[in-house]
Amino acid sequence: MSAHPILPSGYGDWLKSLKSRIASARQRAALAVNQELVTLYHFIGKDILQRQANEGWGAKVIQRLSSDLGEAFPDMKGFSTRNLKYMKFFAEYCPALQFGQQPAAQLPWFHIVSLLTKVSDPAARE
């Protein structure tokens, strides 16, 4: 007796097609999640800029926000003071949410942070 049953005609092609569709859907979902996070981070950065302008430099906006968001969303990473500073920097130096012709939301957050922190020349960054 065979360990594997005989597969119906066309099953292999059908399985291959489904695997491809599943992989493609997973990739699109990951890109959509990334886009939402980058857009959220830009929004938070803009709000931080405004709060700091309204409340003054010594108000410790970022430290307070980091603590409060970390407490409110303990299962989420990304609300450290360092990352909130990156969000602020992102909103300040990329106000249109674009790098050159490419929407920043199409880039992973780590790449955005790398562009902002390692490339000081604005023209080169674009």
pLDDT averaged per 10 residues in sequence order, the chain, 126 residues: 76 96 96 92 95 83 95 94 95 85 83 87 76
| 1 CB neighbour count, 10 Å cutoff | 2
Instruction: Specify the 3-state DSSP secondary structure of 27.
Output: helix
What pLDDT, on the 0 to 100 scale, is given for residue 84?
Answer: 96
What pLDDT, on the 0 to 100 scale, is given for residue 86?
Answer: 95
What pLDDT, on the 0 to 100 scale, is given for residue 44?
Answer: 97
CB 27 within 8 A of CB 45: no
- Token digits for 105? 């939301």
Residues 40 and 37: their CA atoms lie apart, in Å, by 5
What pLDDT, on the 0 to 100 scale, is given for residue 104?
Answer: 82
Residues 69 and 51: their CA atoms lie apart, in Å, by 16
Directed axis angle between helix 11-55 and helix 61-72, to 10°? 140
